[in-house]
Homo-oligomer: A and B are copies of this chain.
């Protein structure tokens, strides 16, 4: 029996990925320009990015955060154009 896995807890990681400030965000611009057409004239600076949730089995919150960070850096975010922010909580 693998004691390591027996000890693991499930965490929910929420990863927010947004285009870096100053870089082109055509989707955000398009949404900003569409706002008046649905009657909203007080909305500006819309940025459109990705929101990713995942379940992580880990021994601690720090380990779960490290896993989410690896996933973001290696697979989910394009670090040249995007920045990411991770929240982790036990579930």
Interface residues, chain A, with chain B CB atoms under 8 Å away = 8, 14, 16-18, 28, 31-32, 34-35, 38-40, 42-58, 67, 70-71, 74-76
Taken together, the copies of this chain in the complex come to: 2
Q: How far is the CA of A52 from the CA of B32 in the complex (A)?
A: 11
In the bound complex, residues from chain B placing their C-beta under 8 Å from that of A47 are 52-54
In the bound complex, residues from chain B placing their C-beta under 8 Å from that of A49 are 50-53
- A51 touches which of B39, B45, B50, B74 (Cβ 8 Å): B50
Grouping DSSP codes into helix (H, G, I), strand (E, B) and loop, the A interface class, with mixed when no group exceeds half, is strand
In the bound complex, residues from chain B placing their C-beta under 8 Å from that of A45 are 53-55
CB pair A43 B56 closer than 8 Å: yes
Q: How far is the CA of A40 from the CA of B71 in the complex (A)?
A: 8
